[in-house]
A and B are shown apart, each in its own frame.
Chain A
């Protein structure tokens, strides 16, 4: 792994985290925020494979933990599993394909919402599933899918440039 790539990862995690937690209404639509950190984790997992998705997911989750949770490690675990799971789809990764990553990102957002709902709400006896589904989960999934398209394209473009550089330096 080249230094460029490491810097790229650190910067993208930082920028995504800052945008995610920013107070101003960045990208907010109909009162939902797209989950940018999840988009980053899934995208890296998808275009780079399991290992890197896993590490990025872990770092993203850990940042969320440090920032918002009382228990360190819970979000880190969820995010690293997401990064790892999306590494399975790495085999189907083609640079020009856009439908699979979009569907993947929206689907991931939905699964993520289910996980959060189950562990943080249903286990505490808040069981209004349908209302959460309509008000948070589905809008978030749809919106994440749309925003993901842009972020995915940007990340992919940078990744391709870095990969080209790495290949050239090998010879």
Chain B
């Protein structure tokens, strides 16, 4: 037995393992579903560990928050109270507006355009390795009703989309991921455009907005939300504020920059919208 083992030198090992890798790549490209059970077993084993190390890590690395003095806390509390009062006032006005809106909509026989979405809260348990791709995992999975293509929000803004689900965890691809394209529109004028995820631009704190109609009457500071024609994103989720609108070099479209309202550096809790967007599939080939 030992003699046989010695005959296996490193080159044989290399060949065997490369073969295994190529086989795995082949299987996952041509029959991706076969490997899902394997994936979910490993994730199920690792997810509790990730949860554990996060709770330990968070308590150790957030010690500076505990060090805040009483005085600071009091000041902050006062400020927040003031804000709360102001917001309460605002809220009351908005509620009145809402009543009026409903009455008018009834009159016009229009259904509420922006319905409230059902959400489930989830905790971020791990993020992608390395600095290249912005993906993360959450601690809710198919057992909690999470499905593929559900939208994920935080701070009232769009975070990303669920792209892979196991029993007790799910993976989310953020809109700042390099492969992400989000069909979006301007809240005021309903002009459609695409928000393109990019690491390159996100380092400077913005994402590129492309394919805005050249005649669109949009201006800096307009709010960008997900589009009604998007196939996977629910309508009307805020993405961010637009700046720097320019005519493209081709003179056919405009491009702009959008600053996401979500703080992608400090995501710890997110909300998953459990309503899947219902669309008629017109073109099987397009992907978002």
Contact = CB atoms under 8 A, between A and B. Distances in A.
A55 B138 CA distance: 29
A37 B129 contact: yes
Contacts of B62: 24
Contacts of A35: 129-130
Interface residues on A, range: 35 or more
Given A51-B10, A55-B13, A72 B25 contact: yes
A57 B61 CA distance: 30
Contacts of B53: 18-19, 22
B178 interface: yes
Interface stretch (B67-75, B152-160, B196-204, B239-247): B196-204
Interface stretch (A99-107, A120-128, A148-156, A160-168): A120-128
A15 B12 CA distance: 29
Contacts of A24: 54, 57-58, 60-62
Interface in B167-200: 171, 178-179, 198-200
Contact of B39 (A14, A26, A66, A76): A66
Interface in A102-138: 116, 120-121, 124, 126, 128, 131-132, 135-136
A71 B29 CA distance: 6
Interface in B20-72: 20-25, 27-29, 32, 35, 38-39, 42-43, 46, 49-50, 53-54, 57-58, 60-62
A128 B58 contact: no
Given A20-B129, A21-B129, A68-B129, A50 B198 contact: no
Contacts of A136: 131-132, 199
B22 A73 contact: yes
Contacts of B133: 68
Given A22-B50, A23-B125, A126-B178, A33 B18 contact: no
B25 to A, nearest CB: 4
Nearest to B123: A23
A74 B21 CA distance: 7
Nearest to B265: A31
Contacts of A31: 131, 203, 265
Interface of B: 10, 13-14, 17-18, 20-25, 27-29, 32, 35, 38-39, 42-43, 46, 49-50, 53-54, 57-58, 60-62, 124-133, 135-137, 163-164, 171, 178-179, 198-200, 203, 265, 267-268
19 contacts: A22-B57, A26-B61, A31-B265, A32-B131, A37-B129, A51-B10, A54-B17, A55-B13, A58-B17, A67-B43, A68-B128, A68-B171, A70-B32, A70-B164, A77-B18, A121-B132, A124-B178, A124-B179, A135-B200
